[in-house]
């Protein structure tokens, strides 16, 4: 009985230490500077489909709302790590364009969050000449 108690106590301690370490790791993640250009499709399209992203205007949002967790380090991963099909008309789970614009299976997208937060505001939810694409889609 003593051995079982000690094993349980060790498991609880190990779990607590692991959870604390993970929380510290996530808390220590620093977002990139503002004016981050996201243009993975550049070079794969005749149109400029890039956006300028400011992490500071999204600082109240958990990183993992938008990013998948790196399986090894529990750190945010770039969307482009998994969504590698950069053709503007690509379909399916590997489509980078769809990852940014279409909500699927519980995964939010940039556009789905903007539609929820800024419903009806074409500057925040529109395509050409919006805050996302201020120079249009050329």
Q: Render pLDDT for 87-132 as a digit per residue (tens, 0 to 9).
A: 878 888 899 888 888 887 767 889 999 999 999 898 998 887 888 8
28 contact partners, CB below 8 Å, separation of at least 6: none
pLDDT at 8 over 70: no
Query: CA 3, CA 127: separation in Å to the nearest integer?
Result: 64
Q: What is the pLDDT of residues 17-66, one digit of tens each?
A: 555 544 444 455 777 788 888 877 766 667 777 788 898 998 888 888 88
* Phi/psi-derived region of residue 98, left when phi > 0, alpha when psi is between -120 and 50, beta in every other case: alpha
More confident: 7 or 117 = 117
Work out the pLDDT band at 1, boundaries 50, 70, 90. Answer: confident
Q: What is the CA radius of gyration of the chain?
A: 20
Q: pLDDT grade, residue 13 (50/70/90)?
A: low
The two structure tokens encoding residue 97: 């364009």
pLDDT(11) > 70: no
Give the pLDDT score at 118: 92
Element (H, E) at 15: helix 2-27
Non-local CB neighbours of 97 within 8 Å, separated by 6+ positions: 41, 49, 86, 87, 88, 89, 90
């Amino acid at each position: 009985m003593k051995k079982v108690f000690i094993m349980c106590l060790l498991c609880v301690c190990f779990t607590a230490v692991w959870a604390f370490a993970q929380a510290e790791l996530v808390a220590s993640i620093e977002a990139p500077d503002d004016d981050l250009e996201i243009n993975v499709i550049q070079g794969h399209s005749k149109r400029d489909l890039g956006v300028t992203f400011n992490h500071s205007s999204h600082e109240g949002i958990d990183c993992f709302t938008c990013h998948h967790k790196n399986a090894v380090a529990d750190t945010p991963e770039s969307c482009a790590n998994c969504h590698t099909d950069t053709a503007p008309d690509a379909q399916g789970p590997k489509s980078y364009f769809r990852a940014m614009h279409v909500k699927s299976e519980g995964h939010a997208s940039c556009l789905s969050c903007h539609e929820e937060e800024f419903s009806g505001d074409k500057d925040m939810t529109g395509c050409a000449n919006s805050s996302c694409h201020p120079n249009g889609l050329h």
